[in-house]
Structure 1
């Protein structure tokens, strides 16, 4: 595995390393856009929601209703800065609002790094409206959380029922554990691919056809750097594979852009693409697209969620964190195309779990992307080497 222990070593890092460690589209997730019901209706006619009746799990604090009451006094607003697509959010918002129908959600879809840049900028001015930050940029999270007073301390009662790796950093929890894979257009590539090495071999056998027809993630961003470095450091024969495929590749700044251009045929394939984009893309493409968890190494990345230090709607934010970590929340997470990790969530068509990722990619091929910041020297060394291989 490229001179590194990938299988059991990488899994140990998941259990220990995690715990140690602008046009912006604002969507108000009301009944019309998220499938939830309006205020006062919990999805069952005139029946009150379970939360309204104080029906909480036995392991929740006896005074948990006070958080619900506090959320109502806050006006029921919730503001989220995230890099998560509305397609992924839709079932989560729908089911959360069934439980708490008085809540109105505004979710900004930002670039991975912009989540932190915008929050820091607004904190500096004293006007920071976000209640929650959600991003899967591990380097970005590590740098942001290393600064003082950037997250609020909150220990969800759900943590007692979850694996240790859910705590990515102090006060930062995993909403999902998403695989990073390879997406290809079957109209362009007429061969089944199971690994990035397979793609490299196909490119080498079809050099004229595949010139500039591959895309990978721009490593100048925190997300792109984190997933690319993790794969290069741990995957089987990674740099040999990269040397073959990268001269045919161009970098893009988002998985969504990569997906769109692969669908149109501008690219034949792309690798290190988020499963949050890849799984739904394959499902909706009618056979045109295939999303693969590479057998030579599949990155898995925690999608971090944390409450901001001076959240304007702190009680509502706590309700949301508890929900996404709960059994109901994790089922909604899976329905939205993200990979849930609770054992009770069973894979089905359109639903994806971390356990499924282990099965498809192979446990020994899982590369858990660490929530840690690289030094400037490490960043420069890696990005220079990576970018030096790209198509000229």
Structure 2
């Protein structure tokens, strides 16, 4: 695996195993956590020795921007993981290719619906619910009340304690933005986010960064997907995971083949393999606490039980559309992000 990354900490050095000089190549963007990306690519190369994978890790928003910028001359063959909304937008813009895998019948309905919504230009590979994780040590030390609802995050006592990503670069944060709009209405959600901004210490680039900061004691609370917060808890950090009482949205992490890819056959091989039970059963081994899309895959014991969460009826078709996504991001920039920069 040749691994290039623009989004892991401080340019950490990575060992690059040797690959056959005559191997075919696959150029891949991975928008999940680095450990999951490495696990999948390493296993794929081990079972497909004739294909060498060149991988770059980018957040969902960054990945979409890269695919769009390369639209006339694609340098990427396949995009795996990250929230599905930007992949739906890429599909609507013709940036991704139609492909119906032989494994579609093995997938949960929500994964197949993602494919149908996109005209089979993307497909669901996992799902995860939105929430937050807070540092119990910090909250206890400062005498802060446990936040169990979205409304609790507006408590003035939380000023400077919250981190959330920028929805322009982060699919996690865009899911939060779209979730609040669906819960409250657009005007009310923007008003809420402006008020929340008074308590936000930093809008990060990466969606999982806020809860990692909370785990390190650099923030009190991070608004993230629940599985990212659970990952910090499993690693031993004093992070408590919360699903908001009013209801919450969720992602359908997706996978797409790029239209005009230089290596479409290799992309299809990875695409088909990534939907199998064997491939998806590797995810928990890498600390993935999402629900996998293959119905026969076995989730981690730490994965949240969706039946116990108050999930909204998230409208992926609408909030994954180019028109809606662009309009919401423009309004967030003008009313929330712009104020944060003042």
Aligned to 2:309: 361
Aligned to 2:27: 79
Alignment partners' CA distance in 2, 1:368 and 1:290:
28
**How many Å apart are 1:241 and its aligned residue?**
6.4
Aligned to 2:211: 259
How do residues 271-290 of structure 1 correspond to structure 2 at under 5 angstroms?
271=223, 273-275=224-226, 277-284=228-235, 286-290=236-240
Alignment partners' CA distance in 2, 1:140 and 1:153:
16
Structure 2 residues without counterparts, runs of 5 or longer: 9-13
Instruction: Kindly indicate whether the alpha-carbon contact (under 8 Å) linking 2:171 and 2:207 is maintained by their aligned counterparts in 1.
Output: no
**How many Å apart are 1:81 and its aligned residue?**
1.5
Instruction: Kindly indicate whether the alpha-carbon contact (under 8 Å) linking 1:112 and 1:223 is maintained by their aligned counterparts in 2.
Output: yes
Aligned to 1:119: 67
Q: How does the TM-score come out when normalised to structure 2?
A: 0.76
Instruction: Kindly indicate whether the alpha-carbon contact (under 8 Å) linking 1:179 and 1:357 is maintained by their aligned counterparts in 2.
Output: no
**How many Å apart are 1:173 and its aligned residue?**
0.9
Distance 1:213 1:144, change over 3 A: same
**How many Å apart are 1:296 and its aligned residue?**
2.3
Alignment partners' CA distance in 1, 2:341 and 2:77:
42
Q: When the two structures are aligned, how many residues end up with a matched partner?
A: 316
Alignment partners' CA distance in 1, 2:146 and 2:98:
47
Aligned to 2:79: 133
Structure 1 residues without counterparts, runs of 5 or longer: 1-21, 27-31, 40-71
Aligned to 1:67: none
Alignment partners' CA distance in 1, 2:166 and 2:129:
18
Larger radius of gyration: 1
Alignment partners' CA distance in 2, 1:195 and 1:153:
40
Match of 2:135 among 178, 185, 202: 185
Q: How does the TM-score come out when normalised to structure 1?
A: 0.68
Match of 2:277 among 327, 330, 333: 327
Instruction: Kindly indicate whether the alpha-carbon contact (under 8 Å) linking 2:75 and 2:261 is maintained by their aligned counterparts in 1.
Output: yes
**How many Å apart are 1:192 and its aligned residue?**
4.7
Q: Secondary structure at the match of 1:298?
A: coil
RMSD: 3.6
Alignment partners' CA distance in 2, 1:249 and 1:213:
7
Q: Secondary structure at the match of 2:322?
A: coil
**How many Å apart are 1:103 and its aligned residue?**
3.1
Deviations 1:271-293 (A, max 9, x none): 2x134533322211x14122333
Matched, 1:228 2:210: no
